[in-house]
Structure 1
C-alpha cells in the first residue's frame, strides 16, 4: 500500500488508525519462512453501493514476513488488495448494516455518521488515505 493525500473513491482508499495494529507470529514450518505475522489494523473507507456513497468500518489484514516494526511498515508491506477490508459496519445515511452488538453499532455510528456527513474528510484519529492503487495505473 502507499499513502496519498489525494482522495479518489475509484482508487478504493482506506483511512487507518495507526495505533490499532495488532497481531501475532504464527509458525510456518512448511514454508520457506519460519513464521508469519498475522496482523490487523482498524480502518474506515467510503464506497459506492447501488449508486449511493456509504461509509464503512472494519479491518485491513495481512500475513507478512518479516514482522513489521510499526503500523506504517505494516501498510507499506501490504501488497495484496484483492480482498479489500473486512467490513464490520456500514452506514448509508438512512440505515446501518452490521452483525455486531448494539454497543458496537453505537460505537460504529459515532464514527460513520459524521464521516459520511463530512465526505470525503478523514475522521479524527485516522490517517489516510492509503491505497493499493499504484501511480500511473488505471
Structure 2
C-alpha cells in the first residue's frame, strides 16, 4: 500500500490503526510457513450515490513476520479484496454487527467520522491506498 496525505475517494483510501496489527504464524507445505496479518482500518465509500463510513479489517499473508503496522501495510500489495467491512453507517442506518456492545463501539467511530468527512478518524493514520502514486 502507499501512503498519501491527499484524500481521493476514487482511489479507495483506508485510514489504518497502525497499532492494531495482529499476526499468526501459519504452517504450509514442506515445512514452509507464512504470516497471516490483520490490521484495523476505516474508510469511506460511495454506495448508490450516498457516502458511507466503514470500519473493518485489512488482511494479508506475508512471507516475513512484519515488525510494525507500517511495515505490514507497506508490504501489502494485493488490494483485490479490499477491507473486510464489519460495520457501516450512512447517516441514517447501521449495517454490521449484531452484538449491542460492538454496535455501540462501531457507531462511536462511524458517526463522527461521517460527520467530519473526509477527515481521518482519531487514532488512525492515512490515507493508505493500493493505487500507485501519481508522478509529475
Shift of 1:23: 1.6
- Alpha-carbon distance in 1 for matches of 2:64, 2:36: 11
TM-fit CA distance, 1:69: 1.5
Residue 8 (structure 1) aligned with residue 16 (structure 2) = no
* Aligned match of 1:77: 75
Alignment partners' CA distance in 2, 1:68 and 1:17: 15
Q: Does the Cα contact within 8 Å between 1:88 and 1:100 map onto a contact in 2?
A: no
CA distance in 1, matches of 2:60, 2:19: 16
TM-score, normalised relative to structure 2 = 0.95
- Structure 2 gaps of 5+ residues are none
Cα distance in 2 for partners of 1:68, 1:106 equals 31
TM-score (normalizing by structure 1): 0.94
Any stretches of 5+ residues in structure 1 without a counterpart?
A: none
Q: Report deviation, 1:136.
A: 3.5
Pairwise CA distance, 1:135: 2.1
* Corresponding position of 2:17: 17
State the SS of the aligned residue for 1:72.
helix
Q: CA RMSD in A?
A: 1.3
Distance between the aligned counterparts of 1:126 and 1:29, measured in 2? Answer: 36
Counterpart in the other structure of 1:56: 54
Number of aligned residue pairs: give it.
Answer: 135
Residues 10-36 of structure 1 deviation map (CA, whole Å, 9 limit, x = unaligned): 000000111100021111125xx8211
- Per-residue deviation at 1:68? 1.1
3-state SS of 2:101 partner: helix
The corresponding residue for 2:84 is 86
Measure the CA separation in 2 of the matches of 1:99 and 1:11: 27
List 4+ stretches of structure 1 deviating above 4 A. none
